[in-house]
């Protein structure tokens, strides 16, 4: 990694650090080991983003994101990784059901029947992003970051992630992080989305 790349990664980690603070009583206990583990989380996310863009370059593919509960943070994280200018088209931020319908073509009936947080909606978001961009792969995140359950009664910490690639079977995962704090749900969702995307790229 050259000096310019290291500088960009350091800046990205610095900006992300406020997102991942966990107070006493949360899932990471306070104590001598707590601060070291907390501070490593932003760096881990930066490394996952860099690994994703490295694989995208090696496979000669481009990416797009479709985000709900992470509100564009995944796309912003990827944009700081080396190679983003060539392999990241950008992202859709579709926080509301209305915008999922308007911007990504998610079915109104699907949202009424199953709510905004389910694997079907995650898949529809990823496929909608592919259809509306020149990207080869799309990753989507929809979930409930908190602090309260959503309008459909889905619990805080429920997140659905999908990765779609043209002419291939999509991948989706469902995570239940629990009520660990809004920013921590977002952080874990981004990590799991990148991990899923990396797995798809490595097997391609």
Give residue-wise pLDDT tens across range 136-164.
Answer: 999 999 999 999 999 999 999 999 999 99
Instruction: Name which of 35, 37, 47, 36 is nearest 9 in CA terms.
Output: 47
Of 196 and 21, which is predicted with more confidence? 196
pLDDT at 33: 39
Q: Residues 24, 186: contact at Cβ < 8 Å? A: no
Structure tokens at 103: 């911007």
Place of tokens 């970051």: 145
Place of tokens 């200018």: 85
Q: Which phi and psi angles does 101 have, rounded to 5°? A: -70, -50
Structural domain range at position 185? 3-202
Cβ neighbours for 70, distance < 8 A, ≥ 6 positions apart: 141, 143, 145, 186, 189, 190, 193
pLDDT at 40: 63
Instruction: Name which of 117, 123, 110 is nearest 149 in CA terms.
Output: 117
CA distance linking residue 156 with residue 144, whole number of Å = 5
**Count of structural domains, the chain:** 1
CATH (domain of 75): 3.90.950.20
Asked whether the predicted pLDDT for residue 1 surpasses 70, the reply is: no
Structure tokens at 150: 């959503």
Give residue-wise pLDDT tens across range 7-28.
Answer: 454 444 434 433 333 322 233 3
Give residue-wise pLDDT tens across range 166-180.
Answer: 989 999 999 999 999
pLDDT at 143: 98
User: What is the band of 80 on the pLDDT scale with cuts at 50, 70, 90?
Assistant: very high
Place of tokens 């496979």: 59
Structure tokens at 97: 């059901």
pLDDT at 42: 87
pLDDT at 109: 98
Side-chain half-sphere CA neighbours of 138 within 13 A: 28
């Amino acid at each position: 990694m050259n000096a310019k790349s290291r500088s960009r990664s350091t800046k990205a980690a610095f900006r992300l650090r406020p997102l991942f603070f966990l107070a006493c009583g949360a899932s990471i206990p306070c104590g001598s080991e707590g601060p070291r583990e907390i501070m490593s989380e932003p760096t881990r996310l930066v490394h996952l983003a860099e690994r994703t863009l490295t694989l995208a370059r090696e496979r000669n593919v481009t990416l797009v994101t479709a985000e709900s509960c992470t509100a564009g943070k995944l796309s912003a994280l990827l944009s700081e990784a080396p190679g983003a200018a060539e392999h990241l088209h950008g992202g859709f931020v579709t926080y509301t059901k209305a915008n999922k319908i308007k911007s990504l073509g998610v079915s109104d009936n699907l949202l009424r029947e199953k709510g905004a947080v389910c694997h079907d909606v995650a898949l529809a978001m990823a496929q909608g992003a592919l259809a509306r961009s020149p990207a080869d792969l799309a990753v989507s995140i929809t979930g409930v970051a908190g602090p309260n359950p959503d309008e459909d009664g889905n619990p805080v910490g429920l997140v659905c992630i999908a990765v779609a690639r043209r002419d291939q079977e999509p991948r989706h995962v469902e995570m239940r992080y629990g009520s660990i704090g809004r920013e921590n749900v977002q952080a874990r969702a981004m990590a799991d989305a990148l991990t899923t995307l990396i797995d798809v790229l490595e097997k391609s």
